[in-house]
Amino acid sequence: MMVSETGIKTNKVENSRIHEVDPSNIQFGKTYSDHMLVAYYEDGVWGKPEVIPFANLALSPATTFFHYGQAIFEGVKAYKDPNGNPIIFRPNDNWARFNRSARRMAMPEVSRELFVDGMRHLIDIDRDWVPTGEDTSLYIRPVLLAIDEFIGVRPAEKFLFLIMTSPAGPYYNHPVSIYVQDKYVRAFPGGIGFTKAAGNYGMSMLPTSQIKKMGYDQILWTDGFEHKYVQEIGTMNVFFIIGDKAITPDINQDTILAGVTRDSVITLLREKGITVEERNLSIDEISEAHKNGQLKEAFGTGTAASIAPIAALTIHDVKMELPPVETWEVTNWLKQELSNIRYGRKEDTHGWIVKV
């Protein structure tokens, strides 16, 4: 055990598992780096974080989050810059969102030192795990779990904060085919749709497996009152290029995750002089635009998937095919622009890149 310059106690593995990674075939979420960061909250205070070898946790079967889902997470990515140094994309924004999720789920907030500096230290230790190939990155997964050993229903008092990392390749390797959902509901105003609470993802498994069997990749979630307005697709925010404008659902009703990639895309589009409207967008408006030839491009945005072009949208039996993705000017430009910033190939004029 050593104490690093950051003051974080660090217990390094004796033998790295890095040889398990095939750099030419990195799949999302299959391999975990050598180390993880852990910190415990008890008696109203956070204990000191430690970096330890990635390993199973020993938890009582009565642990709160197993039963009641008091659990949140984040998704962040680190890249290698042209000099081979790891850099992290917008971790401060994920930290702020993590704490918004924590507040809604009656969990303790974490300091920037714990979340961002802890992450930087962990990536420094596991820097060899940040892949270098195009479309690859180190996916960083911070998690906060309620760990009281108590199965009565009340907000927990003990928590585990953990950061694990995983080398990642592209999340989707083809343009996605979307099914518009009008039976199940992802989020209501006043609910937890704006958080990265585990339950938001757990509840999507059944509807998603149903549409996958039907041959689609992801669901387009609509509002729970009329199934009329667009919310998100799968685990991503969504944008439609209609005419010469980009339109995305606004995030004011607590039903939609304030995506960091979403925000980056809005910023880049506006800087490019493209009008972005954040507002209610109905399925009818999308269908109408498709009929009139005005639905030019559509894509999902998220940390894991980055920018995922949408090839087609199906509502009941009606399939709306979009023009071939190779011809899309806005999405293809955005993908390239965002990659150049993330891999440190282009000057970071927004303060988005944090060095390890």
Tell which positions 49-78 bind ligand COI, by CB under 6 A.
75
Which pair of structure tokens corresponds to residue 82? Answer: 């042209």
Q: What is the 3-state secondary structure (H, E, C) of 192-247?
A: CCCCCEHHHHHCCHHHHHHHHHCCCCEEEEECCCCCCEEEEECCEEEEEEECCEEE
In the complex with ligand COI, the residue whose CB is nearer, 255 or 303, is 303
- Among 51, 140, 256, 304, the residue binding ligand COI under the rule CB under 6 A is 304
Cα–Cα dist 356/86, whole Å: 6
Closest-CA residue to 234 (of 181, 170, 168): 181
Q: How far is the CB of 91 from ligand COI (least distance, A)?
A: 13
| Contact window for ligand COI (CB under 6 A) among 87-95, 103-111, 263-271, 301-309 | 301-309
| Contact window for ligand COI (CB under 6 A) among 61-69, 205-213, 243-251, 297-305 | 297-305
Q: Which residue has the tokens 């997470």?
A: 73
Burial 161-178 (b: 16+ CB within 10 A, else e): bbbbbbbbbbbbeebbbb
Q: How far is the CB of 155 from ligand COI (least distance, A)?
A: 24
Binding map of ligand COI across residues 12-31, x = CB under 6 A, - = no contact: --------------------
CA 245 to chain centre: 25
Interaction between residue 302 and ligand COI (CB under 6 A): yes
Question: Residue number with the shortest CB distance to ligand COI?
Answer: 75
Cα–Cα dist 156/62, whole Å: 12
- Among 94, 208, 303, 314, the residue binding ligand COI under the rule CB under 6 A is 303
Q: How far is the CB of 233 from ligand COI (least distance, A)?
A: 11
In the complex with ligand COI, the residue whose CB is nearer, 198 or 247, is 198
In the complex with ligand COI, the residue whose CB is nearer, 201 or 225, is 201
User: Which 3 state secondary structure label does DSSP give 348?
Assistant: coil
Beta-sheet pairing, 245-248 with 237-242: antiparallel
In the complex with ligand COI, the residue whose CB is nearer, 71 or 289, is 71
- Among 63, 64, 235, 237, the residue binding ligand COI under the rule CB under 6 A is 235
Q: How far is the CB of 192 from ligand COI (least distance, A)?
A: 14
Cα–Cα dist 91/135, whole Å: 19
Specify whether the CB–CB gap between 223 and 215 falls below 8 A.
Answer: no
In the complex with ligand COI, the residue whose CB is nearer, 156 or 304, is 304
In the complex with ligand COI, the residue whose CB is nearer, 258 or 274, is 258
Binding map of ligand COI across residues 173-202, x = CB under 6 A, - = no contact: ----------------------------x-
Contact set with ligand COI (CB under 6 A): 75, 201, 235, 302-304
